Amino acid sequence: MTDFDPTPASSGDLPAFDFTGALDTSSVTAADVVAAVVIMIATVIIATIVGHLTRKRLSRPETNSLQVARFAGTGARWAVIFTGGALALSFLGADVAWLTITIVLIIVISVLIAKPLLEKYAAGIALATATGFGIGDEISVKGYEGEVIEITGRSTVLRLRNGRRVHIPNTEMTDQDIVVFTTEQKRRTEIELEIGARHAVESVERVILEALHSVEAVNNDPAPYIRARGFGVDSVTLSVRIWHKSDLGSGSRALDQSVRAIARALDAAGMALADDGLEVFLHNGAAEPSLGARD
């Protein structure tokens, strides 16, 4: 219980608090002591179970993050202990209202001091529990493409295809658009062709599809297909769409093998790539495929 000093406070002074009334053991009985002990024992057991279940939930294989799981489990355990401890102390004559205010003040001060760290761990927990991606998925974020090998309390670790590792702070990950390549088993890649107007579109299409049929890295279910995308000055733009396994390595192999097969087939059909009327462009002029579906 909090009592105010009836003596008028001087200007600029706060009222004095009487902390001696926070604990009154005069009416505590043996039964109260036993109840407090039982409550604390039950609290420890429940806190242990809650902490274990929290760690187990956050450490499941698809979102394995040991540091985040430990942090969350510890937080859940202490939350239960604080609650049970306050209840047990009330049986021993403690003023629960005063105790609650004290605990709240301690928590607020701790949060303010540890706010930057808590923000990083909170972001880590959010990423670890999200269903969008997990350990082993291949993603693209902030210009990096690679495999997620770890989600710690502070950062998400990617292994890039060149063998390097990049650590991206979790606080930045939550604010970024993330492309997940391995959500599905198959993924589509596009290759754009500009054919001269003198070439029949159907003839070029037939040659390309026959060439892609024998490409090992390209799936035939769904089968490759071609869509006309528009006209140039003296050309027609075609979009060759192929399906392959969703990982980045399979995408690169499918693109490489497909472009080579198309080039050989067009050359054999008398549609040489050296002819000014027919050129092959990778989408956006990039060395990597244009990933994901686009209509």
pLDDT at 11 over 50: no
pLDDT, residue 234, reads 74
* Max CA distance (Å), the chain: 105
Q: Does residue 181 sit in helix, strand or coil?
A: coil
pLDDT, residue 275, reads 45
Q: Is 77 left (phi over 0), alpha (psi -120 to 50) or beta?
A: alpha
Residues 167, 200: one domain? Answer: no
pLDDT, residue 98, reads 61
pLDDT at 67 over 80: no
The CATH number that applies at residue 159 is 2.30.30.60
For the residues 93-97, what does the mean pLDDT come to? 67
The CATH number that applies at residue 228 is 3.30.70.100
The gap between the terminal CA atoms of the chain, to the nearest Å, is 69
Residues 39, 87: one domain? Answer: yes
Rounded distance between C-alpha atoms, residue 137 and residue 159, angstroms:
11
The CA R_g of the chain, rounded to the nearest whole Å, is: 33
Give domain status of residue 75, yes or no: yes
pTM score over 0.75: no
pLDDT at 128 over 80: no
Residues 255, 211: one domain? Answer: yes
Residues 57, 92: one domain? Answer: yes
pLDDT, residue 26, reads 66
Residues sharing a CB contact under 8 Å with residue 176, sequence separation 6 or more, in sequence order: 141, 142
Rounded distance between C-alpha atoms, residue 183 and residue 228, angstroms:
29
- φ, ψ for residue 219, nearest 5 deg: -80, 145
Q: Are strands 138-141 and 186-196 parallel, antiparallel or unpaired?
A: unpaired
Give domain status of residue 122, yes or no: no
- φ, ψ for residue 257, nearest 5 deg: -65, -35
Give domain status of residue 258, yes or no: yes
Residues 92, 147: one domain? Answer: no
- φ, ψ for residue 9, nearest 5 deg: -80, 145
Residues 146, 240: one domain? Answer: no
Q: Is the peptide bond before 222 cis (omega within 30 degrees of 0)?
A: yes
* Residue 28: both structure tokens together: 């505590």
- Residue 95 confidence class, pLDDT cut points 50, 70, 90: low
Give domain status of residue 126, yes or no: no
The total domain count for the chain is 3
Q: In 10 A of CB 164, how many CB atoms?
A: 10
Residues 102, 152: one domain? Answer: no
List 147's β-bridge partners, or say none.
138, 159
Q: Give percent of the chain with pLDDT exceeding 70.
A: 65
Which of 180, 199, 215 is the C-terminal boundary of a domain?
180
Give domain status of residue 4, yes or no: no
Rounded distance between C-alpha atoms, residue 73 and residue 68, angstroms:
8
- Residue 89 confidence class, pLDDT cut points 50, 70, 90: confident
pLDDT digit string, tens, across residues 158-185:
999 888 999 988 777 777 788 888 878 8
Residues 143, 105: one domain? Answer: no
pLDDT, residue 63, reads 46
- Inter-residue contact 118 to 168 (CB < 8 Å): no
Q: In what order do the strands lie in the sheet with 165-169?
A: 165-169, 155-160, 144-151, 138-141, 179-180
Give domain status of residue 125, yes or no: no
Rounded distance between C-alpha atoms, residue 225 and residue 263, angstroms:
17
Residues 200, 171: one domain? Answer: no
Higher pLDDT, 262 or 112: 262
pLDDT at 30 over 70: yes
The CATH number that applies at residue 104 is 1.10.287.1260
Give domain status of residue 7, yes or no: no
Residues 190, 286: one domain? Answer: yes
Residues 147, 193: one domain? Answer: no
pLDDT, residue 273, reads 44
Give the domain extent around 95: 19-113
Give domain status of residue 210, yes or no: yes
* Sign of the CA dihedral running 126, 127, 133, 136: negative
Rounded distance between C-alpha atoms, residue 268 and residue 257, angstroms:
16
Report the half-sphere exposure of 62 (CA within 13 A, side-chain side). 7
pLDDT, residue 176, reads 77
* Sign of the CA dihedral running 160, 166, 171, 172: negative
